Amino acid sequence: GFLMAIASDAGDVLDGDSVGTVITSPSTLITFGDIEAIFSALGFAIGVLFLTKLVSIHSSIEVAGASMLVSGLILVAFMIGFLHESQEILSSSAWWSLFQQQPLIITIILLLLFSFLPFIGSLCYTTGLSKIGASITATIGSSSILITVLIQIILKELGITSNLPENIFLAILGGVLGFLGIYVIHMHTRYLSIIPRRKQ
């Protein structure tokens, strides 16, 4: 799936066009966004493995809170490492001027966006692991790959700037392969859970 997604950008590279706003060299095939996607996929896979074990021992809300805490600590570490760049981005953003005018409202909005809503998402995911199993939960969670591409297409049709791959078909095909890959990986676990029921 990843190779298909990379191949979807090959047309831009061969034509010498910029694939995205983060590209510094048009001859670079693998960009910062691709590396970010790789680490995101690896982190997702590792997270599924750990969370599946944890929800069998602890409650869903405890696992969700722990995962949010670890994620927050990782983000804080990155923020400290890129403190200078973070300050420049913050001072030049429209959020900073709005925060100076309405600090209470902006604080509540930021807490909802970066604390409450992610916690609800994490809680739903861990609850799904304990209720419907890792296979179905991971399959539903991986559908975000396809949803992201569809949202980008919709935004581009509405006239909103969006960095789409040159070959949409290969991008969607890569997402479908990733989606099916997660499902196939968890088929073994699902099959083992069905066997005891048949014996009964």
The model's pLDDT over 102-134, given as tens digits with 9 standing for 90+, comes to: 777 777 777 777 777 778 877 887 887 777 776
The model's pLDDT over 40-57, given as tens digits with 9 standing for 90+, comes to: 767 777 777 777 788 888
Which pTM value belongs to this model?
0.52
Torsion, Cα 142 57 189 122, to 10 degrees, reads -10
Alpha helix (H) ranges present in 82-200?
Answer: 83-92, 94-101, 103-111, 117-131, 134-142, 144-157, 168-185, 187-199
The model's pLDDT over 75-86, given as tens digits with 9 standing for 90+, comes to: 788 777 777 766
pLDDT, greater one: 136 or 123: 123
